[in-house]
Amino acid sequence: MSFIGFVIGVVAIVSGVCVVGLRNPLYSAFALVTNLLAMAGLYAALDAHFLAVSQVVVYAGAIMVLVLFVLMLLNLKSESGRKLGFIRSAVALVIGCVVLLSALPPVFARFAGMSEVTVSDNARDSEGTVKAIGQELYTKYVAQFELSSLVLLIGVVGAVMLSKRRSVTLQPRAGGLVGGSK
């Protein structure tokens, strides 16, 4: 990869940290858009142009519009300034390091026997054309594809249900409305 790929990778990492670190949900959503666009840039740098375009259209476009609609429906405010404290932060850091260190050995074991020739041969066999991706998506992975759309639908319905707050209604009374003037 080139220097541009390195810069895009740094942007992806920084925006990913901002997604989980920012307290305002709207700023976090914009950081997620930046992260998704940086990932599309990384795909383009790796010559996976179909993935780059679909990343921009599907994720940075459609999914982020859905996320922003949910944020608008929920009318979320930024979090309060409550801090977790040193002990909770230290425990979270230790747990994160343990999870990362437990995930690294299987990854290294998987790629230990591969050489660059093996990786390039595997890449050539699975060309990644639009036709090949479409055939895999709509034959082998059709159930997962439909389940992911169902999960998105459930999220939208849940956001709408949460946004429907019960408002105080005026009850009719003999002398007029409760809370109203005569």
Phi-psi category of 166—alpha, beta or left, where left has phi over 0 and alpha has psi -120 to 50? Answer: beta
* Phi, psi at 177, each rounded to 5°: -90, 145
pLDDT confidence of 105, banded at 50, 70, 90?
confident
Task: Give the separation between CA 130 and CA 90, rounded to whole angstroms.
Answer: 46
Position 14 in a domain: yes
Q: Which domain holds residue 67?
A: 1-78
Q: Is the per-residue pLDDT at 141 higher than 70?
A: yes
Mean of the per-residue pLDDT values for the chain?
78
Interval 44-76: pLDDT, tens: 888 778 888 888 888 888 888 878 777 777 776
Q: What is the pLDDT of residue 12?
A: 93
CATH of the domain at 35: 1.20.120.1200
Position 88 in a domain: no
Q: Could you count the other beta carbons within 10 Å of the beta carbon of residue 143?
A: 8
Position 11 in a domain: yes
Interval 73-86: pLDDT, tens: 777 665 555 666 78
Position 54 in a domain: yes
Interval 17-27: pLDDT, tens: 999 888 888 88
Q: Is the per-residue pLDDT at 14 higher than 90?
A: yes
Number of domains forming the structure of the chain:
1
Position 21 in a domain: yes
Q: Residue 176, exposed/middle/buried by CB under 10 A (0-12, 13-18, 19+)? A: exposed
